[in-house]
Every structure is written in structure tokens, then in C-alpha cells.
Chains A and B, each alone.
Chain A
Amino acid sequence: MRAVFFLAALASVLAVLLICLFLFGNGVPALLKIGIFKFLAGQEWAPSDVPPLFGILPMIAGSLYVTACALILGVPVGILTAVFLARVCPPRLYRFLKPGVDLLAGIPSVVYGFFGMAALVPHFHSSILSAGILLGVMILPTMAGIAESALRAVPEHYYEGALALGAGHYRAVFRVILPAARSGVLAAVVLGMGRAVGETMAVIMVAGNQARMPNSIFQGVRTLTANIVMEMGYAAELHRGALIATGVVLFVFILLVNLCLSALNRRIT
């Protein structure tokens, strides 16, 4: 019986291992062939030129800008949503609000993309801003859900202690409960960030996808994920390798973010 559980646990580890093997096995040779510096810092992406240019700096910048934009918009709203759900909302409203927020998590990203095309692109064009706003909405349910459970896990006696000192409800919530839940809230932000960096379909539909260095948030931009999806269908040889290497960059990026989170958490506790 134990073996069954062990195998089940092994499945996900095995999957991660296989993904690593595939990514690095296919991506690293291309990376070395292009040259790591040329690949990461190159500002030109022209795979059909002779000789081809494989610089992904515009896409790295694109992913960073779009993610930053999503976090700036999504993090405050997500945290305030969590605070409202966990500590302010009357129970009767909660019964409508909570499923509403959860439902947001279940909407397929292509539907978000349609929404963005219909509601955002007419105002902000296909741009960093459109993609950022859309992603800001998409990461809300993830962040609100995790931050809410972190807030609910804070022992009630902190709240009572704050009230007993003459603090009002909101002061107790924002100055005692929220700081007490900071490691969980931080985890929520990082997960939202992971979602924003990794999101593909919705971003492709509203970001414009031009492979060039953006110099304003009203310009179109191509993210790392978009780069892979848009060209994988016809890429061959070194071009294909370069796209997989783009995946390697994405993977390493997510890994770094998670490492930063655990380092931060260790410092807090």
C-alpha cells in the first residue's frame, strides 16, 4: 500500500525531472551555439534573416513590463479583496462574493483574451497596458484566495489584543493582522507573479506581439511565452532550439522568484 502512495508522490517529481531534462537538453545546445550573451542581451530577434539573429532581450523586457504592470494593479486590489473577505464582509454578502471571486479563477484564459480584445484594446490598443490590466484581473482570484486563507490563519487573540489597546477594527486589521499574515500574503503575490509571467493565450491576444524593445507602456510588446507559442509551429533547427532556450529562461526566472520567496520567508520567521 505504501508503494502506491510513494508512486503517486513520485509522479510529480518525475514530471518536473522530465521537463527539466527536455528543456535543458534541447535548449542549452542552442543557447551555446548562439552564445549566452548574444541570446540574453541581443536586441534583435530576426530568425529568418541571413545570418539569423536570436536576441531575446525585447521579450525579457516585455515579460517584465507586463508582469510589473499586472502586479502594480493586481496586488493592492487582491490584498484588499482578501482583507474584505476575511475580516470585513458580512456573512450574507460573503456567500455571493466568495464564489464570484473563485469563478474568476475558473474562466479559461482565451475568454479573458476575448474580454481584453473587446474591452481594453479599443481604449489602450494592443499594448503593455492592455496586457497588464488584463493580467492584473487574472491574478486576482489566486492572490485573493491565498491571502484570505493567510489572514484567516492569524490567531484571533492578536486581534483582541489590538482592540483591548483601544485600536479600531481597521487599525487592528491593517497594523496587526495583515503584518502577522505577511508570509502568506507574500506567497500570494509570488504565485500571482508566476501566473502573470507564465500566462500566454490572453497576453498574445492583447499585447500586440512586436518583437522589439518597448519604450512606453502604450506600445505593443512580445512576452517570452508569446514568442514561443507564435513561432513554434514553423520553427526548425536552430530557430526551434532558440525557442526552447526561451523556455529555459522562463523556467529559470520562475525558479529564481520562488527561491527569493523562500529566502524572504526565512528572514521573516
Chain B
Amino acid sequence: MNVFDITDLNLWYGKFQALQNINMSASEAEITALIGPSGCGKSTLLKTLNRMNDLVPGCRVTGSVCLSGMDIYGNLNVNDLRKRVGMVFQKPNPFPMSVYDNIAFGPRTHGVKSRYALDEAVENSLKAAAIWDEVKDRLRKSALGLSGGQQQRLCIARALAVKPEVLLLDEPTSALDPISTGKIEELLLELKNDYSIIIVTHNMQQATRISDQTAFFLLGEMIEYDSTEKIFSMPQDKRTEDYVTGRFG
């Protein structure tokens, strides 16, 4: 089953065309990596999938993006879309409130009121994001007191708390040290059993370590999309080969 089907997607920021004729799909319970040099459009594509691009003035989209068969630019409510498609940002962005309130924000937004249900959601999400043991004694303290790596796992937990189907991650480890990065990669491998994951990464080793499928982007075009193994061992396109062997980018 495909979670996302993208057909003839074009995107403009004002007059600048950031994405050109993208056709791809992402499968359920897999990790799909989007790689490419800076400015190639991979983050833009990611933000198209939960319509965060709506916030950019002058952004225009044509083509279709379907989530489990439903066009997300059609009559799907954008808040419902974002509930189903969670996102973790490049820079950890926990809210300036307690660990508990950070996680509970999503469920509360979607109408969960009972104390018991919230407690349970908080505990389950923190456990799923492998950070429960580190924060269980400080749930009522500010989330800003955590380390960068802990903050990022907290953000993953926060995204999981609304029970999304897909998790989008925009270079989630680029601001973190190698140990925190390792923990997050381990976590993603575990999460892919329950969630479909699409990750933008600058780090090609990271793509080979964790992803099942890899798409290579260059100047707003998708050059090649195949299993990660193929992309890195026998790429079909010369430009992909140049990039994955480190000749540019």
C-alpha cells in the first residue's frame, strides 16, 4: 500500500519554480529518504506533504498529492491532514512549557480532556520515542532544560502523541551530536513498524543506514527513485552516481 502518491507535482515560490514534475509514491511501513544538495527541493517536497508550505507567501502548487487515495490539496481539512501526517523539524522546537504539556498539546488540540487518557498518551508517546526513562521524573519541568538530542526525541514523541499515520522528518539530526544521532536513527528503525516515515537528510550514510527507498533530487527535479541499495550501489543516472560517490554536493 502507498501512503503517498504524488502526481505531476509542480511548486512555485513566487516566480521561482522549486519543484518540477515530481512523480513518486511512498510505501507504508517503510522509511523513504529524500537526498540531494542544498536547495534541491527535498525539504520543499516534505513540507508539501503536510501543507506547511501554505505558510509561505506566494507559494503555488499544481498536480496532486494523495494520502491513502485522498487528495490533500482537495477538500481535506488541513488540520486533519496534519494530525495524520506528523512532522519533526530540523531544529528541535519543544514549546517553552513542561515536558508533559508539550506532549499533551496534540491530544488536547484534538479534544482529549480526561486526565487519565492524557497521562496515558504522554507515557506511551515518551516510551515510543525512547525518552521515557530520561524524563519520567521531570515531566512537570520545562522542556527547554533538556539536551538537544533529548529535545528532538521529545519532539518525535510530541508528534507521535496525536497518533499520525506518517511521520515527516526534516534533517532531524543535523543539529545533533553523533551519539544523539545514533539514538534517533535507532528509534526511527523501530518506529517504521508502526509508521510510514519520510526523512530528508543531508547525510548519505544516514540514508544507507536507515532507509528502504531513496529519492535523489537536483535543482527541483527528482532524478532517481529506487531502493536504497540500488541508489547507492548501482545508480542508473550519472548525476546520482556523482552525488552518492561524493563528486559534488
Taking beta carbons and an 8 Å cutoff, which residues of A are in contact with B?
A: 155, 157-158, 160-168, 171, 175-176, 179-180
Q: How far is the CA of A168 from the CA of B89 in the complex (A)?
A: 18
Taking beta carbons and an 8 Å cutoff, which residues of B are in contact with A?
A: 50, 52, 55, 79-83, 86-87, 89, 91, 93-97, 105-106, 109-110, 155, 158-159, 162
Residue contact A171 to B82, C-beta cutoff 8 Å: no
Given contacts A166-B162, A167-B109, A161 and B155 within 8 Å (CB-CB):
yes
Given contacts A165-B82, A167-B79, A160 and B52 within 8 Å (CB-CB):
yes
A109 to chain B, nearest CB (A): 37
Q: How far is the CA of A162 from the CA of B96 in the complex (A)?
A: 12
Residue contact A166 to B82, C-beta cutoff 8 Å: yes
| Interface pairs (30), CB distance under 8 Å | A157-B89, A158-B93, A158-B95, A160-B55, A161-B94, A162-B105, A163-B82, A164-B50, A164-B52, A164-B82, A164-B87, A165-B82, A165-B105, A165-B106, A165-B109, A165-B158, A165-B159, A166-B80, A166-B81, A166-B82, A166-B106, A166-B109, A168-B79, A175-B105, A175-B109, A176-B95, A176-B105, A179-B95, A180-B95, A180-B96
Residues on the A chain within 8 Å of B96, using CB = 158, 179-180
Residues on the A chain within 8 Å of B55, using CB = 160, 163
Q: Which 4 A-B pairs have the closest CB atoms?
A: A166-B83, A164-B87, A157-B93, A166-B82
Which one of A158, A163, A179 has the highest number of Cβ atoms from chain B below 10 Å of its Cβ?
A: A163
Residue contact B106 to A157, C-beta cutoff 8 Å: no
- 7 further contact pairs, Cβ within 8 A, besides A160-B52, A165-B83, A167-B109: A158-B95, A161-B89, A161-B94, A163-B82, A165-B159, A176-B95, A179-B95
A208 to chain B, nearest CB (A): 45
Residues on the A chain within 8 Å of B52, using CB = 160, 163-164
Given contacts A166-B79, A166-B82, A167-B79, A161 and B109 within 8 Å (CB-CB):
no
A194 to chain B, nearest CB (A): 26
A186 to chain B, nearest CB (A): 14
Residues on the A chain within 8 Å of B79, using CB = 166-168
Residue contact A164 to B159, C-beta cutoff 8 Å: yes
Residues on the A chain within 8 Å of B94, using CB = 161
Residues on the B chain within 8 Å of A168, using CB = 79
Q: How far is the CA of A164 from the CA of B106 in the complex (A)?
A: 9
Residue contact A157 to B91, C-beta cutoff 8 Å: yes
**B110 to chain A: closest residue by CB:** A166
**A166 to chain B: closest residue by CB:** B83
Q: How far is the CA of A259 from the CA of B162 in the complex (A)?
A: 41
Which one of A155, A161, A180 has the highest number of Cβ atoms from chain B below 10 Å of its Cβ?
A: A161
Residues on the A chain within 8 Å of B159, using CB = 164-165
Residues on the A chain within 8 Å of B82, using CB = 163-166
A80 to chain B, nearest CB (A): 21
**B109 to chain A: closest residue by CB:** A167
B103 to chain A, nearest CB (A): 10
Which one of A161, A162, A165 has the highest number of Cβ atoms from chain B below 10 Å of its Cβ?
A: A165
Which one of A162, A166, A167, A168 has the highest number of Cβ atoms from chain B below 10 Å of its Cβ?
A: A166
A105 to chain B, nearest CB (A): 29
Residues on the A chain within 8 Å of B106, using CB = 165-167
